[in-house]
Structure 1
Amino acid sequence: MTSETKLFPPAGNKAALEAGDVLTPRFGPDGTIACVTVDADSGQVLMVAYMSAESLALTIQTGEGWYWSRSRNELWHKGATSGNVQKVVELLTDCDQDALVLRVRVDGTGATCHTGQLSCFYRHAPIGQKAAEGPVRLEHIGGDRLFDPVKVYGHGH
């Protein structure tokens, strides 16, 4: 990963961090920052991923969603394989600049999840279950898949 100090200045004092006009993201010990990605029109949460300094800089530069894949340990241009590229409408940072929100519109089928679902959040755990009494049940709420992941990514994805 590229060092964040080469791409973004260090955070200043609390006042500069919270009210300043310069992006000074506070990356974690692993060099990443959490990013919640939402649909620019509906507000639906599409995914949560992490950005490195390099992927954040590329996102700002290109206007498309770039992330750091912690599982693959590599830079990741969302939609490069599937065609479901995220076009950034707005990038937000929180008060202490240690988390991001991307508001996007998705090209292609509109699916964000590698499973073919619109959102990575396609299941919910009904409230009221008692975890101490057995496994908490999940229910599918995502609708139909928008693409077949085997056709897009091949077997084993």
Structure 2
Amino acid sequence: MSQESSLDPAVAARLKRSPDGLVPAIAQQYDTGEVLMLGWMDDEALHRTLTSGRATYWSRSRGEYWVKGDTSGHVQWVRSVALDCDADTVLVRVDQVGAACHTGARTCFDADVLPLGPTAS
């Protein structure tokens, strides 16, 4: 991860990061509200997302930045970015082109829906 970042210092000061310097970033389809995926961002990934118009994440497994769609063609065009009330999660509203999930599915959250118990409604 980048030690130096161009992220606005006022935004950086508000972020509550995990011990490894990351915040979860939820990608949501801007016009339907469909939750697409969860990625991770550090300050530099957030800066790149805010300034490039493309969602940029930190890959924990590869140890590098990745811009959604650079290899797959499944681009996330950023429409807005918001922090949650605790400033420990980022919501990235995007216009998703193609699949968001690395499996080729539109969303990472539709293949393994868990059953609810009898008291859940």
| TM bracket, shorter-chain basis | 0.7 to 0.9
Larger Rg: 1
Stretches of 4+ aligned residues off by more than 4 angstroms: none
Which structure: greater helix fraction? 1
Q: Find out whether 1:112 has 2:95 as its counterpart.
A: no
Take 1:43 and 1:99, find their aligned partners in 2: how far apart are those partners?
17
Quote the sequence identity (%).
43
Match of 2:19 in 1: 29
Match of 1:121 in 2: 109
Q: Is 1:4–1:52's contact at 8 Å kept on the other side of the alignment?
A: no
Please, which moves more after superposition, 22-31 or 113-122? Answer: 22-31
Give 1:112's aligned amino acid: A
What is the alpha-carbon distance in structure 1 between the residues aligned to residue 85 and residue 3 of structure 2? 22
Matches within 5 A, 1:48-63: 48-63=38-53
Q: Which amino acid aligns with 2:103?
A: T
Distance across 2 between alignment mates of 1:27 and 1:6: 17
Q: Secondary structure at the match of 2:50?
A: helix
SS of residue matched to 1:118? coil
Shift of 1:92: 0.6
TM-score (norm 1): 0.68
5+ residue gaps, structure 1, are 10-21, 130-157
Aligned twin of 1:137: none
**Count of equivalent residues:** 115
CA distance in 2, matches of 1:128, 1:114: 30
How far 1:89 sits from its partner (Å)? 0.6
Equivalent residues of 1:8, 1:25 under 8 A apart: no
Aligned counterparts of 1:59 and 1:118: Cα–Cα separation in 2: 21
